[in-house]
Amino acid sequence: QSALTQPPSASGSPGQSVTISCTGTSNDVGGYNYVSWYQQHPGKAPKLMIYEVSQRPSGVPDRFSGSKSGNTASLTVSGLQAEDEADYYCSSYADSNILFGGGTKLTVL
Amino acid sequence: QVQLQESGPGLVKPSQTLSLTCTVSGASISSGSYYWSWIRQPPGKGLEWIGYIYSSGSSNYSPSLRSRVIISVDTSRNQFSLRLSSVTPADTAVYYCASVYTSMVHWGQGALVAVSS
């Protein structure tokens, strides 16, 4: 099983919106509604931001939203803030296994 | 709230076995509320899922590591452990433990393990 495909980088100015994609196959992203997104700041552990495609854990700002169409999931960050600058990883359940994307470095300009 | 803490040697010699333990607080491993997982991150690289275990002892591992990995659980100590055999420098990474429901809900702070002679 291959890793999920994410763009290596994304950027936006404060207040703008940015969308990060995560492409898999019908055996993972497209086959299950178990896509999650994690935020990781340098030197820190990842933090769950979105689970089950579009659900936000308690405490995660509603500026973060998730969606899925076919084999591609997306994370949208609206109203970008400086503290959103981080690495973002998608993950999907895949037939008893778990796959991660390669990560996207989000830069707030 | 659920907290996890990794512990174990920070340096392992090539060909030896890497062993780490994750101690869970704020939740009982035996409650069955979560699966318990290990994930690693080589320096400067992305996340890689290693495997998970349920309180019953049933487990599943990444196909790429399956031949070298064992994850076990000790419900009496509320801990679960990782053993990775025949390590090489490519196994140098920060190793995280996490609780899993439909996603990795809670994460430990991570433990850096270097493989070097």
| Residues of chain B with C-beta less than 8 angstroms from the C-beta of A38 | 47, 104
Structure-block tokens of residue A85: 């600058």
Across chain A, where does the E strand assignment appear?
A: 9-12, 18-23, 35-40, 47-50, 64-69, 72-77, 86-94, 97-100, 104-108
Nearest CA to CA, how far is A82 from chain B (Å)? 22
Question: Measured between alpha carbons, how far is residue A55 from residues A42, A94, A103, B15, B107 in Å?
Answer: 25, 19, 20, 43, 18
Q: Considering CB atoms only, which of B49, B105, B110 is closest to A100? A: B49
State pLDDT tens for residues A6-62.
Answer: 999 999 999 999 999 999 999 999 999 999 999 999 999 999 999 999 999 999 999
Q: Considering CB atoms only, which of B47, B52, B62 is closest to A46? A: B47
State pLDDT tens for residues B65-117.
Answer: 999 999 999 999 999 999 999 999 999 999 999 999 888 899 999 999 999 99
Structure-block tokens of residue A25: 């196959």
Residues with Cβ within 8 Å of B45's Cβ and at least 6 positions away in sequence, in order, are none
Q: Does B71 touch chain A (CB under 8 A)?
A: no
| Residues of chain B with C-beta less than 8 angstroms from the C-beta of A48 | 103-105
